[in-house]
């Protein structure tokens, strides 16, 4: 990479990190390109050379958040087709993403009713590839006979990720000891989910304590 390209990449990275910080504290509605540029220590002109609008900044942030997880799930030949093992791997990746950017996710949820339609569409489109990777894997599992053919796969995926999102929010808004760890919660979500969709639910372990 040339010095010029490296400098451009570093500037973009600073802008994305600044945008995550500003969106996390101010929300999408309250965030401004001027403040994002200030936190990134660049001029607003520099920001607009790379992103034409706040919506484009949001889109870049969302793609940045999901890119590594999507890439990790991109190669179907790396799946083991052990349903519980693969889903636990996916759930851990998803939970790590939620935890790393928890302030951002909680802010967007909290002000969801205030988001412009364009911003909501940007967020939804950015997260679709990650969702589609799992749906594709599950469809292969249906064809291999490990998932019941009558399962609504998009609905099932949203139920799993919804449980994980709920767990992340609960960890950060309530300090009450609920008697289980973050790790056990994730395993419990996966076990419950796999029992619900599997053609061989009895093969799912009742507990992961022996692992």
| DSSP output for 166-209 | HHHHHHHH-----SS-HHHHHHHHHHHHHHHHBTTGGGS-S-ST
Shared domain for 91 and 19, answered yes or no, is no
pLDDT at 4: 64
Contact 64, 100 (CB under 8 A): no
Q: List the structure tokens of 56.
A: 């484009």
Question: For residue 147, what are the β-bridge partners?
Answer: 198
148: alpha, beta or left? (left if phi > 0; alpha if psi -120 to 50): beta
pLDDT at 99: 94
pLDDT at 45: 96
Shared domain for 41 and 75, answered yes or no, is no
pLDDT at 77: 67
Residues in the chain, how many? 211
Q: Which helix (H) or strand (E) holds 15?
A: helix 3-30
pLDDT at 49: 95
Q: List the structure tokens of 105.
A: 């996710």
Per DSSP, 73 falls in state T
In a domain, residue 210? The reply is: no
pLDDT at 130: 86
Going residue by residue through the chain (211 aa), what tens digit of pLDDT does each one get? 566 667 888 999 999 999 999 999 998 889 999 999 999 999 999 999 999 999 999 999 998 988 877 777 776 667 899 999 999 999 998 999 999 999 988 888 887 777 777 777 777 787 888 899 899 999 999 999 999 999 999 999 999 999 999 999 999 888 788 899 999 999 999 999 999 999 985 444 444 444 4
Q: List the structure tokens of 173.
A: 């808004």
* CA-wise closest residue to 58 among 97, 102, 116, 139: 116
In a domain, residue 209? The reply is: no
Shared domain for 90 and 28, answered yes or no, is no
Burial of 159 from C-beta contacts in 10 A (0-12 / 13-18 / 19+) = middle
- Overall number of domains in the chain: 2
pLDDT at 167: 95
pLDDT at 209: 44
Give the residue ranges of DSSP H helices in 41-146: 44-50, 54-72, 83-100, 102-110, 117-144
Domain of 151, CATH number, reads 1.10.357.10
Domain hosting 7: range is 1-52
In a domain, residue 173? The reply is: yes
pLDDT at 161: 94
pLDDT at 39: 98
Sorted by sequence, the CB contacts under 8 Å of residue 5 that are 6+ apart come out as none
pLDDT at 3: 65
């Amino acid at each position: 990479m040339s010095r010029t390209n490296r400098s451009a990449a570093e500037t973009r990275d600073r802008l994305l990190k600044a945008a995550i910080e500003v969106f996390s504290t101010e929300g999408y509605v309250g965030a401004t390109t001027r403040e994002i540029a200030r936190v990134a220590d660049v001029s607003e002109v520099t920001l607009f050379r790379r992103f034409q609008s706040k919506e484009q900044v949001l889109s870049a942030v969302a793609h940045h958040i999901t890119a590594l997880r999507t890439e990790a799930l991109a190669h179907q030949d790396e799946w083991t087709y052990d349903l519980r093992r693969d889903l636990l791997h996916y759930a851990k990746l998803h939970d790590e993403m939620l935890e790393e950017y928890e302030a951002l996710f909680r802010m967007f949820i909290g002000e969801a009713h205030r988001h412009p339609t364009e911003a909501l569409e940007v967020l939804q489109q950015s997260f679709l590839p990650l969702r589609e990777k799992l749906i594709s894997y599950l469809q292969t599992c249906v064809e291999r006979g490990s998932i019941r053919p009558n399962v609504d796969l998009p609905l099932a995926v949203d139920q799993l990720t919804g449980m994980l999102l709920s767990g992340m929010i609960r960890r950060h808004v309530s300090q009450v000891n609920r008697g289980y760890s973050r790790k056990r919660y994730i395993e419990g979500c996966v076990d419950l989910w796999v029992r619900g969709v599997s053609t061989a639910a009895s093969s799912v372990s009742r507990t992961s304590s022996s692992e």
